[in-house]
Structure 1
Amino acid sequence: MRAPAPILPRQSATKIHSMDNNFAAQTQHIRVGKQAYLEFMPDQVIPHRHSRFISDTLIECDSTATVLYSEILMPGRKHHHQDERFGFDVYSSRISAKNEAGDVLFTEKLVLTPKEKPLDVVGVMGTFDIYGNVIVLTPSTCQDEILSRSRSFYSEELCHGVSRLPQWGWAYL
């Protein structure tokens, strides 16, 4: 019998407060062994006006394991002040994954600087306020079935897309 699958929630949102100097940083190193299953879907990141945040996540995953990982970025405290919606200075997130041999499966880097390049334009965020990124790393035997149940979608309220990673696993953005 397989052991219960761990699900690691955070207690609450990560709030990045305004700052005059420097930045807030987060480093995560996740290891998932043979035939293991891990869901790590933390609560959202809420960057306040004039905040700077750098996140670096490394996922080491055995090729027989499954990992479900996500990030959710809020626009800030948009009802608090007119300049709060995407009022942060920098949001930087890097997610990398390696297999058990140490081969890099993918690296994704997202850097947002809304004062230099506005986010509320077509092709970036448009009218949407929330950015979510869900990554599923799973053996190839499961990928096609999962992908067949997850179709890209667009409406005025919600849009999402699905893409397969180049080497192993797939990503749902």
Structure 2
Amino acid sequence: MVVKVSAGLMAGDCQDFDIQLEDHAKAEFLSQSYEKIHRMDTGKATRTGHIRVGREAVLFYAPLPVLPFANSAFVSHFDITLADDSSKLFYADVLACGRAARGERFKYRLYRSRVRIHQQGSLLYADNLRFAPQENPYGYEGLTQYEGRTHLGTYIFMNFPLSEDELRSFIARRNLPNSCLTGITAFAPHCFCVKILAQGSECLVKLQDQLKEMLRALS
């Protein structure tokens, strides 16, 4: 668990993660609270991650949600390398629209997240997410965006012995609120990306924990 003494990320803060799992290792990466990105009049906070998962190793990267305050800016870039198709990864990322209860829906300046996953030298997955609400005259509330929801959950599954039908069935049995919108993409054998739009973070955090428990039984 990453323990931080500050109340969250401030302008100019830079986090640099380097996670190396040896062959046959099993590990879980957690955070102690929601990641608060505080208001900043100028500048930004950054996070860079380099992850390598060895053969027959298993990594659960599942921090709690990111909460960007009004006028904040945050840039994240993760490069992940899997040794081969025996390397297993569960990667979770939940982003809030801001402090909705305080009237700060999409009041942040920038949220940029880039994730690239390689396996045996081949790029299997790339996600380049950029939200800049103050630059977008159309906003992020409407059709093809958040569609009135407040949170976006992203869950990536790599090389667990799990079929698409099994994953769909598992999520369907979780009884997510009817307001949730869910999509599943299969991008390689036994490799999936699930994205969910939800009203609130509680159901996404609960689902994240349930997914981890299910995957532990498969690893």
What's the CA shift for 1:14?
1.1
**Percent identity over the alignment?**
25
What's the CA shift for 1:37?
1.0
What's the CA shift for 1:25?
0.5
Q: Take 1:52 and 1:4, find their aligned partners in 2: how far apart are those partners?
A: 35
Q: Which amino acid aligns with 1:130?
A: H
Task: Give the TM-score, by structure 1 length.
Answer: 0.86
Tell me: higher relative CO, structure 1 or 2? Use CA pairs within 8 A at least 6 residues apart. Answer: 1
Q: Which amino acid aligns with 1:95?
A: V
What's the CA shift for 1:27?
0.5
Relative to structure 1, is the Cα distance of residues 107 and 42 closer, same or farther in structure 2, using a 3 angstrom cutoff? same
Residue among 115, 118, 123 paired with 1:98: 118
Relative to structure 1, is the Cα distance of residues 37 and 134 closer, same or farther in structure 2, using a 3 angstrom cutoff? same
Q: How does 1:151-170 map to 2 (within 5 A)?
A: 151=168, 156-166=178-188, 169-170=191-192
Could you say which structure has the higher helix fraction? Answer: 2
Superposition RMSD in Å: 2.2
Deviations 1:92-118 (A, max 9, x none): 10000011x322112110101122141
Aligned pair count reads 165
Q: Take 1:56 and 1:18, find their aligned partners in 2: how far apart are those partners?
A: 21
Deviations 1:17-71 (A, max 9, x none): 1111111110011111001111111111100000111100111112211100010
The yes-or-no answer on 1:150 pairing with 2:171 is: no
Please list every run of 5 or more consecutive structure 1 residues that lacks an aligned counterpart in the other structure: none
Partner of 1:76: 98
Q: Take 1:36 and 1:29, find their aligned partners in 2: how far apart are those partners?
A: 16
Q: Take 1:148 and 1:166, find their aligned partners in 2: how far apart are those partners?
A: 15
Q: Take 2:177 and 2:162, find their aligned partners in 1: how far apart are those partners?
A: 26
